[in-house]
């Protein structure tokens, strides 16, 4: 089959990472794959060993129209069997392109329980007929979109995110090396990862960590992720205000996440909303004990292989974190092993690629097409 993936950007986010990982997997199976990116090229992007075309859309009517024309020309030349889009803007543009370009089938994926205001949900509803199916990455996201009537139940499916368990493999040797390089010494390292944006709710994490630090002086928090300057300024100021500024390390954007997972002792997610947090699955694949706020599909992912806390409740998050720290090293190791098994059996990237490939083939005209 000939498949085009449409994404808003290739910047270093979870939805973008998942879309590119899927595109790469599908290409490895012999399909002809290309990627359309709405926004201009960013300074830091996920690498893709595929044909990638940036439509260079801007926030003006002229910029959108020029991008649509560029996309339409590409699709007329490429002649895809399937267009698979990810996140709100890409989903809407893919549906518009279906009207004006030779796009027989569109699949839309929503990656979060919250993709914007009621006007965006109305846009989804009004254009729903241009997509064969809308697929959510978690049951929680699917239920919310159906409840908001953005997607009718009969046209909504769930295919959860997949994790490459061959990339995320724990290494004791790497752990010792990175902890030495980072000067971790005998500290208990909590790792958080994700862009410093409101959705990730770092103030919630910092308030919880301050409570943890008051009881366990051996705790440190490492935060991997870039973000908006204003959000980082507020977060770092809050850490100092809470008296934990010297115990929080802001690592910025990192490309060595497996090494950081190894070096840390546990992972924490403090989000206010999520779809299905990819980074939690990666931490679990690395055999890390995980504490996550109960948002979106986090509970679906973690199951009984980690600890959950109510969102926007730093006291509860701190209690869950302290619970992990008070476990014996053997019990934390057992929790980590159970977490990796859960990812391998329920969220393996190869199995998810199987699901997507099968879905593509259900589309009219694709049943007998070769890879």
Identify the structural domains of the chain with CATH numbers, from first to last.
2-162+348-362 (3.40.50.2000), 172-346 (3.40.50.2000)
Residue pointed to by tokens 């300024």: 233
What's the mean pLDDT in 202-210?
98
CB atoms within 10 A of CB 51: 14
How would you write 32-43 as a 3-class SS string? EEEEEECCCCCC
Cβ–Cβ < 8 Å for 244, 151:
no
Percent of the chain residues past pLDDT 70, beyond the cut: 98
Cβ–Cβ < 8 Å for 57, 67:
yes
Tell whether the model's pLDDT for residue 369 goes beyond 80: no
Cβ–Cβ < 8 Å for 212, 318:
yes
Percent of the chain residues past pLDDT 90, beyond the cut: 88
Helices (H) and strands (E) counted in the chain, each on its own, are 14, 13
Residue from 242, 301, 310, 243 nearest 270 by CA = 310
Residue 304 is given by DSSP the state T
Residue 198: pLDDT band (50, 70, 90) is very high
State the pLDDT at residue 48: 82
Tens digit of pLDDT for each residue in 348-360?
999 999 999 999 9
Tens digit of pLDDT for each residue in 1-26?
999 999 999 987 888 989 999 999 99
State the pLDDT at residue 21: 92
Tell whether the model's pLDDT for residue 71 goes beyond 90: yes
């Amino acid at each position: 089959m000939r498949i085009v993936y449409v994404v808003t950007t290739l910047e270093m986010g979870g939805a973008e990472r998942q879309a590119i990982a899927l595109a790469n997997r599908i290409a490895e199976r012999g399909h002809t794959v290309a990627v359309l990116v709405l926004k201009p090229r960013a300074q830091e992007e996920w690498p893709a060993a595929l044909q990638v075309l940036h439509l260079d859309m801007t926030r003006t009517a002229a910029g959108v129209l020029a991008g649509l024309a560029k996309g339409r020309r590409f699709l007329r030349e490429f002649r895809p069997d399937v267009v698979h889009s990810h996140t709100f803007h890409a989903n809407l543009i893919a549906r518009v392109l279906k009207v004006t370009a030779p796009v027989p089938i569109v699949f839309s994926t929503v990656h979060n329980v919250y993709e914007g205001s009621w006007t965006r949900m109305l846009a989804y509803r009004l254009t729903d007929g241009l997509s064969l199916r809308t697929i959510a990455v978690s049951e929680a996201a699917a239920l919310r979109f159906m409840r908001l009537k953005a997607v009718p139940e009969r046209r909504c499916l769930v295919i959860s995110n997949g994790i490459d368990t061959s990339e995320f493999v724990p290494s004791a040797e790497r752990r010792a090396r990175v902890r030495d390089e980072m000067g971790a010494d005998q500290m208990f390292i909590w790792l958080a990862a994700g862009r410093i944006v409101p959705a990730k709710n770092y103030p919630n994490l910092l308030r919880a960590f301050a409570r943890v630090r008051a009881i366990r002086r051996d705790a440190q928090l490492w935060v991997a992720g870039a973000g908006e300057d204003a959000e980082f300024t507020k977060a770092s100021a809050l850490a100092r205000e809470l008296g934990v500024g010297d115990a929080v390390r802001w690592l910025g954007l990192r490309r060595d996440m497996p090494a950081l997972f190894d070096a840390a002792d546990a992972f924490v997610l403090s989000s206010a909303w999520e779809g299905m947090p990819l980074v939690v699955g990666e931490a679990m694949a690395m055999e890390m004990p995980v504490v996550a706020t109960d948002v979106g599909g986090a509970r679906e992912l973690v199951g009984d292989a980690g600890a959950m806390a109510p969102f926007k409740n730093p006291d509860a998050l701190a209690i869950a974190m302290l619970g992990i720290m008070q476990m014996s090293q053997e019990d934390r190791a057992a929790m980590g092993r159970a977490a990796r098994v859960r990812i391998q059996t329920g969220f393996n990237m190869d199995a998810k690629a199987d699901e997507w490939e099968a879905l593509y083939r259900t589309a009219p005209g694709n049943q007998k097409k070769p890879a």
